Amino acid sequence: MLKVTLHIQNPYERRDFDLDDEVTIGRTDASSLVVSDSGLSRRNTTVFRDGSAVIVVDEGSLNGTFLNGNKVSGATELRDGDELKIGTETRIRIEISEGAAQRSAVGRQPSAVSSTPPTVKQQPVSIPTATGSAPKSKIQNPKSAGFPLLPVAIGFGVFAIFFFGATVIFLIWRSGSGGPTPGRPQPPVSSSSAIPVRVIDPLGGEDEDDLDDLIASWEVPEEEIKADNVADIKVDPADTADADLNVTAAFLADRQRKALEPRNAETGIRPAALDVPKELFGDGVIKQKAKLREMSTTGGYHQPMDFAELAEKRIKGDLIEMPMATKSFYLDVGGSASDAPFTQFAFGSGNSEISPGSPKFQILSQLASNFSGTKYDLNNPGHRKQMRMRLLRMFNKRAKPILQELADAYFGKFGRPLRVTSLTRSMDYQIGLNASNPNSFKVRGEGSLPPHTSGCAFDLARKHMTAEEQNFVMQKLAQMESTNKLDALIEYGVNACFHIFIYFDGNPPKM
């Protein structure tokens, strides 16, 4: 039996996978092989063996499957040396031992199995169903059949096309593109707004109430923080409330190096000994969405639409600034902050300039004149960038001791600081990050409350951790969740992390 190896590579990981029978590749546990690429659908591509043939099928993915630069349509045979491209930036080189003689030029057209490849003579491939599942009976020998297969295949193909079309139309209608869902009022959405609009992937099965889909839609990573771009924070000695903010960029760099130092064991998204407790998956999305709804209704929370509104929350004390590094954690946030002039954001109109003398300009000027003892010039691009970085370190008061408890426990066990990759974001900053995310859901006006605009959510990176480290953190999170301090989820894909949400009032949601 020929050996078939898939050499998988993208900027986030490299791995080799030996294909024994069949594998479905995607960004979530809906697939048998999870790959770090936010451009993948939940079930993206299936590769399977059938005797000496190796077949690839696209599972109706959002971004498609490409073989040597050509989009795959239907079941297509692979040869030694072929290259698949899936998602945003994942490439898979196919290696079939003893198959080098069959290798063709990279630019060749992919040959469908039904077009009589050298190893399979006149053997039609069963048509993938419109549900996106891989075909179970892949290739059948017509000589062994008791009736002619060609008419049956043609008839089934016609039926599948009509069924596929009807399914797509129905799902688009249900998603809101073809009309309102009965009984549910639809908030207005301006076609001119600067909000990313999600392209529904019917065959990928994306669902706003699904755990992995909700995470993929909002958990967008920032650029990694560079300590050289971060200024020291020097707090007024008389300001005892903000004394812990007095941190240097050199200390931030030290904590970053310590957190990311090489390990002597396997690290990554899914190390072999990873043991995920039940508390970190299941009803987490339902609970978080319910609590976010409480915040914006009965809790009276107003999400920050732009940096001026973040500044207002800091001035009023609604949110507090976190130190950029402590002994037990450091904040890898603000890496995507720009030095552009501040703008204001509103649904329907998008971003616009802030006029001098306007209320939002006055708020920014007030904070810039005394930011815990530091003065910033709003006309200085470097100062604007530093202000944005600091405003992205905002957090709910109740959440600070919970993060500290978790970080101290981890540091006490492993002697390393936790890497916190997101805290609070303004809506326009979140939308800017989501603009390039193919899994972004449509934002339907001011009713949308992404977790990271709440001030109660934070992410802990985990790809650099060993299984022992990840299991320790998960067990600690499970304990804290059992006492109703928080809700935690494990996230796979590009932004592999633990997503943690703190109950703003100390109470779990009313379910």
Identify the top-confidence range among 106-110, 279-283, 411-415, 420-424. 411-415
> What is the side-by-side strand order in the sheet with 4-10?
13-18, 4-10, 90-96, 83-86, 65-67, 70-71
Comparing CA positions, the residue from 81, 113, 104, 117 lying closest to residue 5 is: 81
What pLDDT shows up at residue 260? 96
Is residue 483 predicted with pLDDT exceeding 70? yes
Least confident interval from 86-90, 297-301, 362-366, 394-398: 297-301
Dist CA 230 CA 333 (whole Å): 11
Average pLDDT over residues 222-250: 90
Please compute the mean of the pLDDT values over residues 141-170 and round it to a whole number. Answer: 49
What does pTM read for this prediction?
0.65
Tell me: pLDDT of 117 over 90: no
- Across 20-141, the runs of DSSP E, i.e. the strands, are 22-26, 33-34, 45-50, 53-58, 65-67, 70-71, 76-78, 83-86, 90-96
Evaluate if residue 370 carries a pLDDT over 60: yes
pLDDT at 352: 92
pLDDT at residue 288, rounded to an integer:
79
The arithmetic mean of pLDDT across residues 35-45, rounded, is: 83
- At 285, the pLDDT band (50, 70, 90 cuts) reads low
How are beta strands 65-67 and 90-96 bridged, if at all? unpaired
Quickly tell me which residue has 């600091």 as its tokens. Answer: 390
Question: Whole-angstrom Cα distance, residue 235 to residue 323?
Answer: 11
> What band does 12 get if pLDDT is binned at 50, 70 and 90?
low
320 pairs with which residues across the strands? 395
Residue 113's pLDDT band, with cuts at 50, 70 and 90, is very low
Q: Are 490 and 474 in contact (CB under 8 A)?
A: yes
3-state SS class at 316 = helix
- Quick one: which of 101, 89, 94 has its CA closest to 68? 94
**Which region among 76-80, 128-132, 477-481 has the lowest average model confidence (pLDDT)?**
128-132
Residue 511 has pLDDT above 60, yes or no: yes
Amino acid letter, residue 46: T
What is the bridge-based pairing of β-strands 83-86 and 394-395?
Answer: unpaired
Torsion (CA) 279, 283, 286, 291 in degrees, nearest 10: -30
CA–CA separation, 132 vs 42, rounded Å? 11
Mean pLDDT of 357-384: 95
Higher pLDDT residue, 234 or 280? 234
Checking if the pLDDT of 156 tops 70, the result is no
Percentage of the residues of the chain whose pLDDT score is greater than 90? 46
Tens of pLDDT, residue by residue over 393-428, are 999 999 999 999 999 999 999 999 999 999 999 988
pLDDT of residue 138: 37
Using only C-alpha atoms, what is the Rg of the chain? 26
